[in-house]
Each structure stands twice: as structure tokens, then as C-alpha cells.
Chain A
Amino acid sequence: VQVLLDTLTASSLLFVVALGLLMVFGVLKIINFAHVAFLTLGAYASVVTTRWGVSPWLAFLVAPLAGAALGVVVERLVIRRLYSRPMDTVLATWGLTIVMTQLIILLYGNGPQFVNTPDLGTVRIADFAYSGFRIAVVAVALMLGLGLALLMRRTDLGLRSRAVIMNEELASVLGINTERVRMVTFTLGCALAAFAGAMLAPLGSVDPNLGLPWLITAFMLALIAGGSLGGLAVAAVLFGAVQTLMSTYGDATLAAPLVVIVAVLVLRVRPQGFQFA
């Protein structure tokens, strides 16, 4: 049971962290390296709530709002101009990460920040204790996943973005404002990234490079997911399982490289990833 729970929580964390990247990758077909910076930005929401002395729960509201606001600006100023040059967006978003990280350093200093975060304590499940925070992450991952799935399937916006994903030119000819779809998606992606960042803050302290270690994992997840939500869920569970099983029954040191090997193998067998949704 313990191992199962570990797998579930590890997968949920990965899912939440990669969600924003996947949204942008799926619709805009670009890898948003600024995802890292938005993760960090979200985590700094908890620094802000700590400084204001308000409830640490507010961070989960402040983070996505700030992420969305900045996301709109970035889309207008940078991303929009580079839609036809996907390779350049890699460079541009990476540059954006550097700029945002430096801005955060200017505002809050280079050092780590010790923040107040919601303390969920330990939950007793059956006969063992388990981190309440980790259980909450599972719930959040499920809610976000289902919410986005509904958004894509049941709403007009979802329909339009799926049209853009399938065939952008055709969608455009049919009168869908593809620019608008892209802007909304990018903004949503940034908000999700910032929200995920807020969820990372309780794991430890917050520093300007907080997002960095997560980038590669999120990137691999998005690639393996092949741009679909269901795919991301499968990929996250796969990664989480490999990580947990390897650390529990083997060696945590080997778990990290093993995840990469698994990613390569999956892409070898299924170059399109787990795309089916």
C-alpha cells in the first residue's frame, strides 16, 4: 500500500509540474522554457504571502493570477511574434527565463527564502502515517486533470483549441481566431506553471533557481505525453512508478538516470508518445 501511495503521490507531483508545459506544447507546438521561471514565480507567491503576513493558502490564488498576468504580457510581446519560428521560441523563452530569474533576484535577493506554507501535518492511513501534503497533491492533480479534460471536451474554447491542435490552417479558414486560442492557451499554461510552483514551495525553501531541476523532467514528460492530457497522466504514472519502485527496492541514486532511460525507450517504441486522447 505504501509503495502504491508513494507512486501515486510522486506521479501527481510530476503531473502538476508538467501540466502547464504540456498545454503550451500541445496547442502552440513550442517548448516553453520559460516554464521554469513561471514555476519559480509561483513559488515566490508564498514569499509574498509570508511577507504580507497573510494566510499561506492565499499563495495558491496569488500564484496563478500573477502567472496569468505575466503570461498575457509575454505572449503579446514575445511569443506572438515568433509563431512561425518555433526554434527561435526555444531561445526566446530560455532568454526570458534568465531575465525573469534575474528580476526575482533583484526584487527578493539571491539567497533562499524561508516561507510559511500550509502545514497539513501527517495523515494516518490504515496502520501507517503519511504526509498530508502529498495526499493533497494527489487531489489537486486529479482536480486539475479532470478540470482541463472537461474544459477541452465540453467547452467552446476546448473545441476551438482541439481544432487548432489538429489542423491549424483549417481551423483558421473555418473562422476560428487561432491567435486568440493561442493567447488563452499560453496564459493558461503560465498560470498552471505558477500554480505548480506554489505547490513546490512547501517542499522546502524557495530560491531563484527553484524551477530548474524540474525542467528536464517536465520536458521529457511533455514529449512522452505527445501533447495529450491522458498521455501526460500515463507518462507521469510511469515516471513516478519507476522512481518509487527503484528507490524502494533498489537505489535512489540510480532512479534518476533510469527515468531518462525509460523515456528514451518509450520514444523508441512509440515515437508519437502516449498520444491517444
Chain B
Amino acid sequence: MTMRPLMRFAVSISALAAVSLVAACGGSSGGDEGSDEQGPIDVGFVVPQTGAISVLSPPAIEVAKLAVEEINSAGGIGGRDLRMQIFDDASDTDGGLKAYTNMVHKAGVDAIIALENSDSRNAGVPIAEKAGTPVIYAVTYEGGACAENLFIDGETPEQFVQPVIDVAGKRGVKSWFIIGSDIAYGRGQVEAAKRYIDEAGGSVVKEETLPLDVTDWGPVLSSIKAADPDAVFFAYLGGTPNVGFHKQYVDSGLTAPIYSVSLDEATATAVGKAAEGVTYAGSYFTGLENKANKDFLAALERKFGADHQTPSSISVPTYDAFHLYAAAVEKAGSADAEDVLAALPEVSFDGPRGKVQMSEQHHAVLPIYVAEVQGDGGTEVVEEFGAVDPGEQCPDL
């Protein structure tokens, strides 16, 4: 793993901060650290409960609770219960740092499962890396995040962007207008999209990179009108910002179809009619016709009632991540970080998404679908891609 000097500096500073924090805590917390062979296995689940993408956390927390209940009612992992503690990263970098510091050095968790934006992940993972704590990052992202302790079961651009561009190409889309957010996720997905558009022989008429707090989309919409593209590629951020964008897009009278890597089924339902016709990819949709998915939806309804949160390709990787971790501990025969990290590249889980297979490069082979939002905000799968390889994300691992 190569680091730029500045990054190395930042890492050492955060390590220093972490060390002093441990020192400040004194001996009292020392007893919790490491893995005692008795008692529950502690998993820290970090989600944005506040801030820009907080809308993503309620569905994820539901499926996480369900996974933990399933694991424990089946006798736990090797006879030990799994205990989940939830941490908030406030949707930003600073929150990510605090959450990881708390999880690793205060709570002394055995492993971390994370659903967060890329900036929070980039900020937090080095803290866990120093301590050797396994992290499973459970949401789609821009690819190329590699660390000895980091595993990812969300979609990579190969699994999330390429299929969307592919479907658009088949529909005759040639010229694109690209909207990206000015964060690691947006910039990464835009780079990937441009690569695939280029490979498919399409062209980009204009590209806009916007700060995260856009509320009036008017200027961008004018810009799209002036550029008059065949389609719009939207790589902004999951959750709330979609509402404003799609509402204002429809109101402005624009008709170019939108291909999105920011939308998920739960958000599409909330946006409703304004999102009609938006095409997006994912490894999970509620309409999947497999038995595991039907059981999963029934279990959600039993545990949380008929008005449970809509699971989506944003939240289901979290569910899988808990089961993948349990499988790895089972396989390793202990919750020791080193043993678990050695076992993780080989585990798989047959869940609601279908078969999820971890790879040597710490990413997951996933079944991929492309879907379209209907007039009532519901989503229907329009094309199945089968099991798609995550691509060469970390050839050095």
C-alpha cells in the first residue's frame, strides 16, 4: 500500500492521537481489549445517524438487528453471542475519525462493520488498521480502497457504474451530461463513468462537480438545458439530495433520461413520481425472486411490522456483512483479528442478494441488476447481469 507523504503524516497524527487517548483512559479500559475467549463477540456498526446521508441509516440498522438476532438465535458464533454497538459518524470526515477512535480504543470491538460515505471511511479505516481490527465496508463505493484489514461487500464501479452505462448504450445514448459531488465518492464514480462512456464510444458534453450542500439545482439544470445531452449521469450522494434534484429536474421541464449511481430503492420510494424513469443498478432489489429474499422480507416484517423500512442495495450489504463476519469467525475458530482476516477472503454467504463471494482482493463477487423507477416510486428490474466480478481493486493484497 502506497501513501503520499501528507497522508502518511495524517495517519501518524491520528495514531498519535489514538495512543494518547488510550493513555488517558488508563488501565480501566485495558481489560476490555483484545479477545477474551469467553463472553460475547463485540461488533461496532458505524452508520451516519445524523448529517447529510442520515436517511440511509434506519433501514440499515433494521437489517443489522435482524442479522444479529438470526446469528444469536442459531446459537451464536462458536457458542459465543454476537453483540452489536452502534456508532454515529455524522456523515462526515470528523465524525468518522471520532467513531473509529471510540470503537477501536474505547469500546475495544473485535470487528467493525461500516455503512458510510467514502470520506468517513478514508478517515476512519487507518485507525482500525493500526490496531489490526477487521473492517467490513458494506456499501457501494468508487473502488480501489485497499488495506490488510479492510473488506468490502458493496458494489464497485465495475458492478455499479458499468452496467448502467451499458444499458444506456443499448438504448442509444451517445452524449452525456455528468453531475458529480465534490467528495471522494462523486469524483471516483465520475472518473469510472467517463472511462466506460469512452469505451462504449459515447461522449461527455459537460461535467459539473458540485459541493454537497446544493439546495437550488436551478443553475445546473440550466446548464443541462444548454448542453442538450442524450442522458444525464448523476453521481452525487445517496439519500436526501436526490429528492431536491429529481423534483426540480422534472419541474424544469427537462426530459433527458437520468442514469443514477446515487439512488436506492428506499429513496426512490420517498421521491416518488419525480424519480419516474430513473435507471440505476444494484445488487439487491426487493422484487428479487429468490427464496432467501422472500425469507428475509418475511423476517423483517415479523420483527419490525408491516411498516418496516424498505431494504435496498444500500442496506442489504450490511445484513450480508454480519453474516460474512460470522462465517469468517466460524471458519477461523476464533474471533482473533488475525485469524478472522485470514478467513475472510474465502467466505461466502447465500443471502437475499444471492451468492456473495469474498475475493482475494478483499472485494465481493455479486449478482447485479439494473432497474428503473416506476410512476409510483416503485422499482422494477429491467436487466439481470448475473454474478459480476468486482474487478481488479487491490492487486497488491
Interface residues in chain A, defined as those with a beta carbon under 8 Å from any beta carbon in chain B:
2-3, 6, 9-10, 13, 110-112, 114, 120-122, 128-134, 200, 202-205, 207, 210, 212-214, 243-244, 246-249, 251-253, 255-256
How many A-B residue contacts, CB cutoff 8 Å? Answer: 103
- Is A247 a contact partner of B253 (Cβ separation < 8 A)? no
Is chain B's binding surface mostly helix, strand, loop or mixed?
Answer: helix
- Is A252 a contact partner of B219 (Cβ separation < 8 A)? yes
With both chains docked as a complex, state the minimum distance between the C-beta of A104 and any C-beta of chain B, in angstroms. 13
Number of interface residues of B (CB under 8 A): 37
- Is A122 a contact partner of B253 (Cβ separation < 8 A)? yes
- Is B248 a contact partner of A204 (Cβ separation < 8 A)? yes
Nearest A-chain residue to B214, judged by Cβ: A213
Q: State whether A205 and B216 are in contact (beta carbons under 8 Å apart), knowing that A110-B49, A122-B253, A131-B251 are contacts in the complex.
A: no
In Å, the complex CA distance between A154 and B381 comes to 63
B378 beta carbon closer than 8 Å to chain A: no
Q: Which residues of A have CB within 8 Å of B248?
A: 131, 203-204
In Å, the complex CA distance between A133 and B244 comes to 13
In Å, the complex CA distance between A9 and B243 comes to 20
- Is B225 a contact partner of A2 (Cβ separation < 8 A)? yes
Q: Which residues of B have CB within 8 Å of A212?
A: 213
Nearest A-chain residue to B270, judged by Cβ: A114
Q: Which of B101-109, B111-119, B203-211, B289-297 contacts A (4 or more CB under 8 A)?
A: B203-211
- Is A203 a contact partner of B55 (Cβ separation < 8 A)? no
Q: Which residues of A have CB within 8 Å of B211?
A: 253, 256
Nearest B-chain residue to A125, judged by Cβ: B253
Q: Which residues of A have CB within 8 Å of B245?
A: 204
In Å, the complex CA distance between A114 and B220 comes to 23
Q: State whether A134 and B218 are in contact (beta carbons under 8 Å apart), knowing that A110-B54, A205-B240, A253-B208 are contacts in the complex.
A: yes
- Is A244 a contact partner of B219 (Cβ separation < 8 A)? yes
In Å, the complex CA distance between A249 and B227 comes to 10
A-B contact pairs, 13 of them (CB 8 A): A2-B226, A6-B218, A112-B54, A114-B243, A122-B252, A134-B251, A203-B215, A203-B217, A247-B219, A253-B182, A253-B208, A253-B209, A253-B211
6 shortest A-B CB distances, which residue pairs? A204-B244, A129-B253, A247-B219, A131-B251, A205-B243, A213-B213
Interface residues of B in 4-21 (CB under 8 A from A): none
In Å, the complex CA distance between A122 and B248 comes to 10
Cross-chain contact of A13 among B208, B216, B225, B253 (Cβ < 8 A): B216
Q: Which residues of A have CB within 8 Å of B241?
A: 204
Q: Which residues of B have CB within 8 Å of A110?
A: 49-50, 54
In Å, the complex CA distance between A200 and B216 comes to 9
- Is A111 a contact partner of B54 (Cβ separation < 8 A)? yes
- Is B58 a contact partner of A111 (Cβ separation < 8 A)? yes
Q: Which residues of A have CB within 8 Å of B271?
A: 114
- Is B244 a contact partner of A205 (Cβ separation < 8 A)? yes
Can you list, as one digit per residue, whether each of B196-207 has a CB less than 8 Å from chain A (1) or not (0)?
000000000000
Q: Which residues of B have CB within 8 Å of A121?
A: 251
> Among the interface residues B217, B223, B272, which one has the most CB atoms of the partner chain A within 10 A?
B223
B29 beta carbon closer than 8 Å to chain A: no
In Å, the complex CA distance between A132 and B58 comes to 34
With both chains docked as a complex, state the minimum distance between the C-beta of A121 and any C-beta of chain B, in angstroms. 7
- Is B215 a contact partner of A133 (Cβ separation < 8 A)? no
Q: State whether A131 and B252 are in contact (beta carbons under 8 Å apart), knowing that A111-B55, A247-B220, A252-B220 are contacts in the complex.
A: yes
With both chains docked as a complex, state the minimum distance between the C-beta of B181 and any C-beta of chain A, in angstroms. 11
